[in-house]
Amino acid sequence: MAHDSKPIQSSICRSTADRIAIHGLDLTDDLLGKVGLGQMAFLEIYGRLPTAKECRVFESLVVALVEHGLTPSVLAARLTYLGAPESFQGAIAAGLVGLGNTFVGSVEGAARFLQEAPANLEPAAAARNIVEGFRSRKAIVPGIGHPIHKDVDPRSERIFTIAQEEGFSGAHVRLMRQVASEASEQFGRHLPVNVSGAIGAVASELGLDWRICRGIGVIARSIGLVAHLLEEIRNPVARELWLRTDEEAQR
């Protein structure tokens, strides 16, 4: 049965026998040895190279999430490598699977409520609606509060400072701060903007669609997980974690 279908197309990359073009730029002549990893990531996402200001802000978002110590995602990767050392990429994938709404994925949640907030509302009213909405659903407000950085998340403030210095501190940043203030008032305890909230706000200032904001964390954590697996190879801890957990669980 005949039917109309749209052509399968991608504007990201074109390859010939002697040339690879990425968003119109030649990989070997225009990119290799000339752009950094952050610039390349920006090019892939936005379809153009960043300005110096955009690059500094974007790279700060990625760098902030590369390393967090022995987090659940790192433990998942290390334990997977213990069981399947022949699948390095499988261990990395295991670590990335855990980037959900509690860890790293909250960047997406924060960016979403910031981008979906009505533009005609004052920040205080918009923040009140946002917090009340999460409370009515008995859901955690993404991007605020931290189990360790209870007073202030130093990463957030640094990100906000860099964004302001480079001209990317606008309505989304103001609303994020207002949400933290409103949530602190409604919940009766101090809840600072955490690093995920700061990244969600500044990524929104950069015009990044909330649906891929979690990708900043995926990019960053991939780098960190590679480093942790190298450490696991040289100085393993996964077997000790497994054996001690098994022993203590049976006492």
The DSSP result for 224-240, as a single string, is: HHHHHHHHHHHS--HHH
Total domains in the fold of the chain: 1
Residue 17 lies in a domain: no
Q: Answer whether residue 11 is part of any domain.
A: no
Beta strands in the chain (DSSP E): 13-15, 20-22, 25-26
For residue 149, the model assigns a pLDDT of 81
Distance in angstroms (rounded) separating the CA atoms of residues 213 and 80: 26
Task: Identify the CATH number of the domain in which residue 168 sits.
Answer: 1.10.230.10
Per-residue pLDDT of the chain (251 residues; tens, 9 = 90+): 556 788 999 999 999 999 999 999 999 999 999 999 999 999 999 999 999 999 999 999 999 999 989 999 999 999 999 999 999 999 999 999 988 887 888 999 999 999 999 989 999 999 999 999 999 999 999 999 887 887 899 999 999 999 999 999 999 999 999 999 999 999 999 999 999 999 999 999 999 999 999 999 999 999 999 999 999 999 999 999 999 999 999 87
The reported pLDDT for the residue numbered 128 is 97
Q: Is residue 18 part of a domain?
A: no
Residue 116 placed within a domain = yes
* Domain hosting residue 84, numbered range: 51-251
Of 37, 12, 59, nearest to 203 by C-alpha is 59
Residue 167 lies in a domain: yes
Residue 5: the pLDDT is: 85
CA distances from 112 to 52, 127, 153 (A): 26, 13, 21
